Amino acid sequence: MRIDHNSYGTVAGAWLAGGIAIILLRLLVRNPWVFWPVMAVILILILWQTFFFRVPVREPAGSGSVVTAVADGRIVIKEKVFESEYLGKECIQVSIYMDFFDVHANFWPVDGTVTYYKYHPGRYFLAFKPKASEENEHASTAILADAGKEIMFKQLAGTFARRIVCYSKPGLRTAAGEQCGIIKFGSRIDMFFPPETDIKVEIGDKVRACESVIALL
């Protein structure tokens, strides 16, 4: 496991702020029954912040035709929709919701080539709400898989997420299981598949990035 390199500044800032808070606490609070519990809370928050930006080592299960989860989380949507931003056709949407304790690093879901990328500034509704897909800050990526099918995924910011990092650019080769970005704090991934795709998950399933098979193209 390592810390996401895009998050070094955030982690360093958390440790700096925590250190200053502990110094001030030590100077201002003399009661040990107050000092030690509060310091413990500060340390737990700093460690949680550091752990939040972890990038785990996984064994990729994806390929040019096997599509794996972009992120850790729980399946909250599985339905037919019309994808109007880029694909312009009916698709099967599968959405993964990440809570505060899930890994928020994102990973390429399939071997292929990026055909489309666009960042959309927006609002910050709760990520599990349906309208978040269109109105929240999000980044959209389409990939032509080596199997010849084009899929798409969106990284959606949530109420507390204010930054999306994505490595996508048209023409970039993707390898299933390699990191493709990160979303900070609570957020969601929407994945879009051709209607004939064999979807392997159901609503409520817990999935792990790189390892959980979402669909077969």
Query: Can you give the pLDDT at residue 123?
Result: 57
Listed in sequence order, the residues at least 6 apart from 132 whose beta carbon sits closer than 8 Å to its beta carbon are 125, 126, 156, 158, 188
* Cβ contact 193:79 at 8 Å: no
Rounded-to-10 torsion of CA 173, 176, 178, 184: 100
* CATH fold of 66-216: Glucose Permease (Domain IIA) (2.70.70)
Active site residue 65: no
Q: Which among 7, 95, 140, 187 is annotated as catalytic?
A: 187
- On the CB side of 128, CA atoms within 13 Å amount to 11
Query: Can you give the pLDDT at residue 127?
Result: 46
DSSP state, residue 72 = S
Q: Which long-range contacts (CB under 8 A, 24 or more apart) does 43-47 make?
A: 43/18, 45/14, 45/18, 46/14, 46/15, 46/18
So where are the chain's domains?
A: 2-55, 66-216
Q: From first to last of its 217 residues, what are the pLDDT tens digits of the chain?
A: 677 666 677 768 778 988 899 899 888 888 989 889 998 998 988 887 777 777 778 899 999 999 999 999 999 999 999 999 999 999 999 999 988 778 878 999 999 999 999 998 865 555 455 555 566 688 999 999 999 999 999 998 865 555 788 999 999 999 999 999 988 766 889 999 999 999 999 999 999 999 999 999 9
Q: pTM of the predicted model, to two decimals?
A: 0.81
